Amino acid sequence: MPLTLATPAEHELIVKKSRFLGRVEPCANRAAALARVAQLRAEHPGAAHVCWALLAGGHSAANDDGEPGGTAGRPMLDVLRHQGLDGVLATAVRYWGGVKLGAGGLVRAYTDCIAQALLTADKIERVAQAELGCELPYELEGRLRRLAEQHAAQLLDVRHEARVHMRFALPVTSRAAFTAAVDEAGQGRIAWARESSIASP
């Protein structure tokens, strides 16, 4: 079973006065990765490059952010693949130190800062998740929220219209028990939307 990360991990590397801030963290898809990279750019306005690699099923990608092609994003992606990870974003913020490292030096630096960050990372099994949606009367919302907490179901979205629409993500193995408990509590007043499975930490 593929592994993902429980929490982010970081490592700082100095190579010929260039500073590399490597970071690995759980990430579900490309949209979340792009949002995180944009956040890093805002946090490090003086950085020369913010390179990244995402390994998340069909959402995998690598970006060199102006470094010579294949010297940053792809090596970081290879590190993630080599460790059997999925649902993980690797980023490296580089502050230019005034000394050129050459293609080989760049590959080593970007590889090392991510590999070192992963040494301290807490790796966990990636568990298949189910996504469930339902609609219900307003008076049952509090009860459903309590049931969600008891069954480790994460509330993804809630909309208050004529009825309350709620969407949850939870481990596939917990789905049957959760839906049974909800159906019992709702006594026919809770309608389920079509289900879908997602791979998520």
For the stretch 10-33, pLDDT in tens is: 999 999 999 999 999 988 788 889
Q: Which of 67, 69, 77 is nearest to 115 (CA)?
A: 77
Percent of all residues in the chain with a pLDDT value above 90, rounded to a whole number: 67
How confident is the model at residue 115, as a pLDDT?
Answer: 96
Residue 35's SS3 state is helix
Residue ranges of the chain whose pLDDT lies below 70: 1, 194-201
Q: What is the pLDDT of residue 195?
A: 57
Angle at the Cα of 71 from the Cα atoms of 65 and 72, rounded to 5 degrees? 50
Alpha-carbon distance 47 to 32, whole Å? 21
* Distance in angstroms (rounded) separating the CA atoms of residues 178 and 150: 9
What is the b/e burial string over 169-192, where b = at least 16 CB atoms within 10 angstroms of the residue's CB? bbeeeebeebbebbeeebeeebee
CB 117 within 8 A of CB 132: no
Asked if residue 83 lies in contact with residue 98, where contact means CB atoms within 8 angstroms, the answer is: no
pLDDT of residue 72: 95
Phi/psi region, residue 148 (left: phi>0; alpha: psi -120 to 50; beta: rest), is alpha
CB neighbour list of residue 83: distance below 8 Å, 6 or more residues apart: 3, 118, 123
The helix/strand/coil state of 73 is: helix
Give the model's pLDDT for residue 1.
60
